[in-house]
Every structure is written in C-alpha cells, then in structure tokens.
Chain A
Amino acid sequence: MGLSGAIWLLNDLMLLGLICRARQGSYWGEYPYYFTYLTCVLASDLIRLLVRVAYARAYGQEYWISEFITAIIGFGVAWEVYDHVFSRFRGAKRMARSVLSILLIAIVMNAFVKLAGDPLNRLVPTTQDLLRNIRVAQVFLLVALLSLIVHYRLPMGRNVRYLLVGYGLYIGIHMVTLTLPSEFLTAEGGGDALAGLEYCVTLCIWCVGMWSYHPDPTPGFSLELDYERVSRQTTRAFGRLRDYLTDSWRA
C-alpha cells in the first residue's frame, strides 16, 4: 500500500468515525443531508476498492460515476448550511432565496449560451468538465451563502461553521485541481494522492467540528421593527451623505 492508499484508508476511518459518532450521539437527524453525503462517500470508496481488486478494467468508469454521484449529493451540504443558518432569520432567508434564484438562472442561461455557440461539441462534455462545472456551481452557491452570512452577520453554531469551512475548502481546492493539466493528474498516483490529501484536510476539520453535537445559537427575543421605516431612513441618510460629500467642497 503506497502513500495514496494510506491516505484513503485514513480518510475512510475518519468517515466511519464521524458516521458512528453521529449515530451514537443521536444527532444524525439534525444534519440528515450531510450524514447521507458522508455515507455515500464512504460507500463509494468501499465499492471503488472492491472494483479495483475484482474488476480492475472497470475501475476507470466506476471512479468517474461515483465521483459524479458524490458531487451531486454534495449539494446537500450547501442545503444543510442554508437550512440551519437561515431558518431563524425569515427575512434573510427570503433574501437568500432571491440571490440563489438569480444565481441559478444565471448558471442555466450561461449553459444555454454556451450550448448555442457550439451545440454538437458541448452537449456531451467530458466527465472531468462535467465534474468541474458541478464544483463551480457549488462554489458559486457557497460564495452567495457566505456573502449573505457575512453581510448580515448571521450567527452559526460550531457544527455548521466547521461544516462550511471544511466543505468550502474542499470544493475550492478540488475545483482548482480539476483545472490542473491532465498530465499532472494522471501521473503515477499523483492525482489520486492529491485528491486524497484534499479530502483528508476536510475530514480533519469535520472531525474537530462535528465530533459532538452543538445546537445552533438562537436569538432569545423577537424584535418589533418597522422594516419599511428603517430601510427608508437608511436610504435617505445615504443620499444625504452623498450630498454632504460634495456640498462640503462647495461651501
């Protein structure tokens, strides 16, 4: 077993540890999409190992199929973040829905424009292209969610914070590695070890943050606020500030 094998073994042990802890601590139900995703990754690793030993010829196909399935299920992690962070902030949730809808429309329109330019060659992209596109969509999704979280300073629990940091790092690095030249990825164990290492870092972060259950922080009060009035006042204040900037120089 080489370095790559050792990394994958360590990863699988961490995955198993996380899943067992969630079952033992009864907090699987709190993050169902996330733990389903982890289970899928673990299952795909085990199937991959089995195929490698028993049906070595089919390994390549199986590898890309399982990568594709886990990438799709990976959207569940973003959903988990959205669900936990925005559930207590109805207004911000509405804002997030609008931003995500615009993002989705932009992605779909971009795909249509590309298809219109060269439909024959682009209709069936290579598996690597497809995977990269899925990861790019996930990165945009996370960037949009993170922007809103940072903008409105929404509180996050320890679990969600580590979940987000781990997954963000993983897909960010994975997207960059998918753009590396294919010679590098197909070099003797190079791509495999790199992918394993990326995931190892993510799983270490998750093991720290998801080892036990920490509930989401809840605001213990509800504020009576006239949103219309506050919004109108702030908009007017910014108009005045802009005037002030120029008026100072005219005085």
Chain B
Amino acid sequence: MNFVTIGGIGVVLLWLLWLAGRRRNQQDLSPNREVAADGELLVRLPPPALFGRCLSATDVEFVTTLQSRALLRFLLHERRRLALEWLRQTRREAGRLFRLHLGSVRHSPDLRPAAEAKLLLQVALFMVVYGILMGFVGLYGPFRTQGFVQSVHALAGVLSGLGGRIADSVVPGHLARVSQAARS
C-alpha cells in the first residue's frame, strides 16, 4: 500500500472523526423531530410542467426579436441560474427524505442491511443523474440540456420499443420450455 493511499485513508478517518465529534447528543436523542409521519415520505415538489414553462422557448424568441445581445445574454444567464436552483431544490428534497428515513429507522430493531443497501443504491443513482444534469446545465446551459434529455428519452423509447418487439417475436411455447429447463 503506497503513501498516497494510506494518506487518503488517514484523511477519511480524520474527517469522520471530526463529523462524529461535532454532533450534539441532544439532537441525536430527539427522534420525534425526525420520525416520518404518514405522508411525510412523499415527494413535495412543484409539478414538472412548471419548469417546462420556465424554460419556454417563447421568451427566447421574443427577446431575440428585440435584437439586444445584452438582454439575450441576461435571459440565458437567468435561465441557467433558475435551472440550477431547480436541480438543487430537488437535491434538497432528496436530502430531506433521506434524513427522515434515517431518523425513523435508526431505532428500529428490524433494520435490514439488504434493504438499506438497496436504498443507498437508489440514492447513488439519483446523485449520478443529478450530477450529470448539473454538469450539463453548468457547461451547456438549460436549453441544450433540455434538448439532450429529450433526445435521450426518444432514444430510450426506440430501444424499449425494439426490446418489446423482440420479446413479442419469441414463440411463447419456446419461452415456456426455456424457463422449465432453467428451473430443472
């Protein structure tokens, strides 16, 4: 093990020690504050259509007709900020849900490592999608990102349709024989 790896582990250890040391037990022992009540584990965010209206192409078209580069730049800058804030709001909601979950289950004797691992995977997937979108909006702006997401969705739709057609073309009797062979 080289010095860099050992140094990295050391830094992680010190960071965790700092995190563990700065917490207050009073907060830790008041789960009533954080236990999920009925309906609290639901996603509370504005409807997605609202964001679509924020990114409406009509505004851009209108500003373009004014032929003011400064105004157009300002509009694009504001739309980028709006898109980033929208994404951050979604992440904050994810944080709220995750904290609520942890606050609820840490006292539970039935806690199952497999279920927790599955949830962590969901969180990781969410963070990956969030990171990709943040990166795209930061680099290319919200309008190109919108186009990119729509293309990806269209492509996914085509692939899904192809998959469905392949599945339909498989003779049901053959499928039954294969699954029977797999079982035996």
Tell me how far the C-beta of A158 lies from the nearest C-beta in chain B, rounded to whole angstroms.
9
Residues A225 and B16 in contact, CB atoms below 8 Å apart: no
- Closest residue to A96 on the B side, CB-wise? B113
| Complex interface bits, A58-85 against B, C-beta within 8 A gives 1, otherwise 0 | 0000000000000000000000000000
**Which A residues lie within 8 Å of B145 (CB)?**
249
Tell me how far the C-beta of B80 lies from the nearest C-beta in chain A, rounded to whole angstroms.
14
Q: Which label, helix, strand, loop or mixed, suits the secondary structure of the A interface?
A: helix
Residues A225 and B126 in contact, CB atoms below 8 Å apart: no
Contacts known (A154-B106, A246-B149); A94 close to B28, Cβ less than 8 A: no
Q: Which of A176, A225, A239 contacts B105 (CB 8 A)?
A: A225
Interface residues on B, range: 35 or more
Q: Which label, helix, strand, loop or mixed, suits the secondary structure of the B interface?
A: helix
The answer to whether the Cβ of A233 comes within 8 Å of any Cβ in the partner chain is yes
The answer to whether the Cβ of B41 comes within 8 Å of any Cβ in the partner chain is yes
Residues B108 and A223 in contact, CB atoms below 8 Å apart: yes
**Which B residues lie within 8 Å of A154 (CB)?**
28, 106
The answer to whether the Cβ of A121 comes within 8 Å of any Cβ in the partner chain is no
Residues A228 and B110 in contact, CB atoms below 8 Å apart: yes
B interface with A by C-beta (< 8 Å): 1, 3, 6-7, 9-10, 12-14, 16-17, 19-21, 23, 25, 27-29, 31, 35-36, 41-43, 45, 48-49, 51-53, 55, 86-87, 90, 93-94, 97-98, 100-113, 115-116, 118-119, 122-123, 125-126, 129-130, 133, 145-146, 149-150, 153
